[in-house]
Structure 1
């Protein structure tokens, strides 16, 4: 997946906004003011990286399955994964990680916001995350 494809996917989610709170080169995607994805631009020979929220048990499974998935860079390592966009993680898997991240953040929002956003997605409200 290219960085532009990731950007398009992140902005597809209801009420998703792109910000640059850390300055140029690092795009942060938020819903209701809460971050659900971070895209770091490629640097030199290093490919772009995305950081996504994840349920802790699933985060460990993904790290074991894909060498491009590591503990979140500069984030809570239990709840965030960083994925190198080097082509080794299939696009459909990366899109599922992005969806999961968005849903984890939405699940922690106020009930009215959560229900509104999930209704747009056509989903039932999941229980709030534990972390």
Structure 2
């Protein structure tokens, strides 16, 4: 993906492929029997602890739920119209990012990395 590409022009598959660039990340479909089912939720997980760091789905456009520190989550909601309290998640610790919005690609990339790091296995796991 090039830096000039906006988050809004990403496809679902491109977003999943980007998440798969993180070490030991894999995609899972725990809520659907098949990945190609309309409305399927893709859950991006860590291989070592199976914790989720991103939930990719479509609801009025492509969305991704990402974990975030509570103060930072609130900050992003105030700065970007395309960031809201997470759909079907703990609203204090998770945000929904609407890709076809005002959230730039570099900010989305940082949010994904932050979520990935927050859910990484702790030392000794």
Q: Shared topology, TM-score over 0.5?
A: yes
Q: 1:20 aligns with which of 25, 29, 42?
A: 29
Q: How does 1:79-94 map to 2 (within 5 A)?
A: 79-94=93-108
Tell me the TM-score normalised to structure 1 length: 0.77
Equivalent-residue separation in structure 1 for 2:73 and 2:14 (angstroms):
22
Point out where structure 2 has 5 or more consecutive residues left out of the alignment. 1-6
RCO comparison, higher one (Cα < 8 Å, 6+): 2
Equivalent-residue separation in structure 1 for 2:20 and 2:100 (angstroms):
21
Equivalent-residue separation in structure 2 for 1:75 and 1:39 (angstroms):
13
Runs of 4+ in 1 over 4 A off after TM superposition: none
Q: State the number of aligned residues.
A: 108
What do residues 83-110 of structure 1 show as CA deviations (whole Å, max 9, x unaligned)? 111142100000000000000001xx23
CA contact (8 A) 2:44 2:53 kept: yes
Q: How does 1:17-96 map to 2 (within 5 A)?
A: 17-23=26-32, 24=37, 25-31=40-46, 32-41=49-58, 46-96=60-110
What do residues 30-74 of structure 1 show as CA deviations (whole Å, max 9, x unaligned)? 002100000003x5xx21110000000000000000011000111
Corresponding residue for 1:110?
A: 122
Q: Decide which structure has greater helix share.
A: 1
Corresponding residue for 2:19?
A: 10
